Amino acid sequence: MENKKSITKFQKIAIYYIIYAFIGWVAEEIYCVISTHEFVKRGFLFGPICPIYGYGALILILCFKDYTKKPVKLFFLSAIIFSVFEYITDFFLQALFGIKWWDYTGYFLNLNGRITLSFSLVWGFGSLIFIKFLHPFITKITGKVLVKIPGKIQSIFVNIAIVLIIIDTLTSSIAYLGIF
């Protein structure tokens, strides 16, 4: 991802956040279309990203990138950490906005409908796939694309994307709170 005038480390992290938040949104949409047979707007924001997936990816990238040779440890740590992350996220979203974005009440071994064993296992396996295959692939593709774009242009686009996400977060929050 290097260029003559390279973007900052924060901007590189922001690029990964955006990519994975978008991939998470696409995955959610596909899951909903398959399970409900219709398009259902997923996620907290108006735009096509799910922040929980972007933040989850950053946790994996920043904390677990060296676990490729420790798959069992990665699986169990990820299953636990992301279940706690999912629980806390749902708790705060529901407390702040009074809306449930997901509900596992009917699932086997769920905890307050916020998390369930089956999705904990999905987070564990998903983390293995992410660390071993997906992130290295995305890193390679991103590097090939960014090397062709001047660093100053990259920086401008990343900064614009960050501002748009902040605006989306604020306007979505205001809409869900019913302030205006």
Q: Is residue 51 in some structural domain?
A: yes
In the block, residue with structure tokens 């990964």: 16
Q: pLDDT of 10-44, one tens digit each?
A: 999 999 999 999 999 999 899 889 988 888 777 78
- Model confidence band, residue 1 (pLDDT cutoffs 50, 70, 90): very low
Q: Determine the Cα–Cα distance for residues 63 and 74; give it in Å rounded to an integer.
A: 10
Number of independent structural domains in the chain: 1
Tell whether 62 is covered by a domain.
yes
Query: Residue range 48-70: average pLDDT?
Result: 92
Tell me if 159 is assigned to some domain: yes
Q: Tell me if 20 is assigned to some domain.
A: yes
Question: Would you tell me how many other CB atoms lie within 10 Å of the CB of residue 33?
Answer: 12
Q: Show the domain range for 112.
A: 9-177
Residue 2 forms part of a structural domain: no
Cα 52–58–62 angle (5° rounding)? Answer: 150
More confident position, 36 or 5: 36
The answer to whether residue 4 sits within a structural domain is: no
For 61-118, how does the pLDDT look when each residue is reduced to its tens digit (9 = 90+)? 999 988 888 999 999 999 999 999 999 999 999 999 888 888 999 999 999 999 999 9
Kindly state whether residue 3 falls inside one of the protein's structural domains.
no
Q: How many CB atoms sit inside 10 A of residue 17's CB?
A: 22
User: Tokens 């990238």 correspond to what residue?
Assistant: 61
Q: Packing angle between helix 71-97 and helix 151-177, nearest 10 degrees?
A: 50
Taking residue 158's Cβ as centre, other Cβ atoms within 10 Å add up to 20
Distance CA 18, CA 168 (A): 13
